[in-house]
Structure 1
Amino acid sequence: MGEARVVLDGLVFGESVRWHAGRVWFCDWGAGQVVRVVDGRAEVVARVDDFPFCVDWLPDGRMLTITGRGVLLRDGTPFAALESPYPWNDIAVDRHGNAFVNNIGYAFGVGEPAPGTISVVTPDGASREVAAGLEFPNGMAVLGDTLIVAESHASRLSAFTIAADGTLSSRRIWATVDESAPDGIFPDPSGAIWYADVPNKECTLVREGGEVIRRIPFDRGAFDCALAGNTLYAVIAHYPSDSPSGRLVAVDL
């Protein structure tokens, strides 16, 4: 396994790492940018005046961006609106074009922790809540007809069965990850899940049931990750920090 190499430096607050159309993408929350990496360079493809915001793609290739205020953009144009006084966080799209969006359920850094939710936006733009009672829902991933969500405050990954209309059922614990705070997640071809961990400064590969397969350490907190072939990309940063310390790094596995 190789050492982490720096792909981009000077990020303000990197999140929402994705592998799409043969490129690495991520969101720099502090700069308000959706970024695509082309030949080792940062190419800004969209600007978002909100915090936080995350991206995923519909089956037809159009990009969805969820803003913290709950405005869902489709290729930069408002498509749907989700209602909550608290921030909307991650987004994951299934093969039917249903977009799952989670809400942390309280004012992070100000209010007392409270249960979060998951809502679905269907292809016609309608939205409804489909899960509740999550302990800081964070990164999400779709594996076939299963939605996996990281519950950062519960040190676990939870799973739901997805119906064609976006209904979630059969909630269960997919893996308990003791002494971890899973943030962004990404599926491995083996069926395991990679998760980024800010306080432990690492990305971890875990099987269903909780067996840890591999840990990748960094010199600062890991916020999200994505796998491209045999390369793991991650956004890392010192947290908290008074100056931009974010990096996009790559590790050859």
Structure 2
Amino acid sequence: MAMTAVLLEAVAFGESPRWHDGRLWFADWLTHEIVAVSPAGEREVVFRADFPTMPMCFDFLGGQPLIVSSSDGLLLRLSESGLSTHAELGGTGFNEVVVTGAGGCYVNGGGFDLMAGEPYRPGAILFAGPDGSVRRVADDIAFGNGMALTPDGSTLIVAESYANRLTAFSVLPDGGLTDRRVWADLGEGVPDGIALDASGAVWVSDVPHRSCTRVREGGEVLEQLTFDRGCFACALSEDTLYLVVQEWRGIDRVGKTEDRTGQILTHPVSVGCA
């Protein structure tokens, strides 16, 4: 059986992993950094934010990081000349982002501030066009988390953590979403970050169950990995599944950087990124 290995340790609070240009990039929310790490474990801090970074998720647009500053309600673009505003999202509480092949992007949000102890409210998905225009394209999202687009751009899959499911939408030519449906009912699973593989299956991270599970559309479980701490997110390269794991000790412990229980793990796969 293929073995899981530790690539990087002492991560304060890892999230939003992305495979890009031969390296794994991830956000460390508590150190306010975006970090790139090579398959050999060579670590580079690519960006250090001067804004609050709980959360700070990102994806790549034209090879440049597109970063969600949730506290400011902004979508920021990082280039060689520094940060610039790509779009104004309005409000706060945004979470995950995924870029489309046509230069737009989707951003979701929980609808409430979990870290501040606010009561649950359903969230939404916004679409930011290439021109920076922003509009709401889906409502009643039960704590939106990881998102993935199929390679042809026709389907957006969203993890609804508070509904224990993956939800799919058909993508319209203008970026709108339609034909909402349950892509996979996860039972008691609590989906966090997700990664779509070339077969069309999805790897689903789960913090409380300390696992990452590969599921087919309809919910069939194809493979499951378990860990000694929560799995927050995952990403795929051509032959490796990268996993962001760390202890979850409750909201009161978030911000305690001395804990540093975060790790980046690797696991060989026969089916790589889509």
Q: How much has 1:164 moved relative to structure 2?
A: 2.4
Q: Is 1:161 the equivalent of 2:170?
A: yes
- Determine the C-alpha separation between the residues in 2 that align with 1:118 and 1:81: 14
Q: TM-score if structure 2 supplies the norm length?
A: 0.89
Partner SS for 2:146: strand
- Determine the C-alpha separation between the residues in 2 that align with 1:200 and 1:56: 26
Partner residue in 2 for 1:102: 108
Mark the runs of 5 or more structure 1 residues left unpaired by the alignment: none
Q: 1:140 aligns with which of 131, 138, 147?
A: 147
Q: Is 1:235 the equivalent of 2:217?
A: no
Partner SS for 1:24: strand
Partner residue in 2 for 1:74: 77
Identity of aligned residues (%): 43
Aligned residue runs from structure 1 range 1-253, under 5 A: 1-38=1-38, 39-48=40-49, 49-50=51-52, 51-58=54-61, 60-69=62-71, 70-75=73-78, 76-84=83-91, 86-109=92-115, 110-143=117-150, 144=152, 145-240=154-249, 242=256, 243-253=259-269
Q: How much has 1:249 moved relative to structure 2?
A: 0.8
Amino acid at match of 1:42: R
Say how many residue pairs are matched: 251
Q: How much has 1:47 moved relative to structure 2?
A: 1.5
- Aligned alpha-carbon RMSD (Å): 1.2
Tell me, yes or no, if the aligned pair for 1:98 and 1:165 is still in contact at 8 Å: no
- 1:65-123 CA-to-partner distances (Å, cap 9, x unmatched) read 11112211112322211112x41000001111111000100121412211110001100
Moved more, 61-70 or 215-224: 61-70
Partner SS for 2:173: coil
- Determine the C-alpha separation between the residues in 2 that align with 1:184 and 1:225: 6
Moved more, 114-123 or 157-166: 157-166
Amino acid at match of 1:138: N
Tell me, yes or no, if the aligned pair for 1:15 and 1:224 is still in contact at 8 Å: yes
Q: How much has 1:230 moved relative to structure 2?
A: 2.5
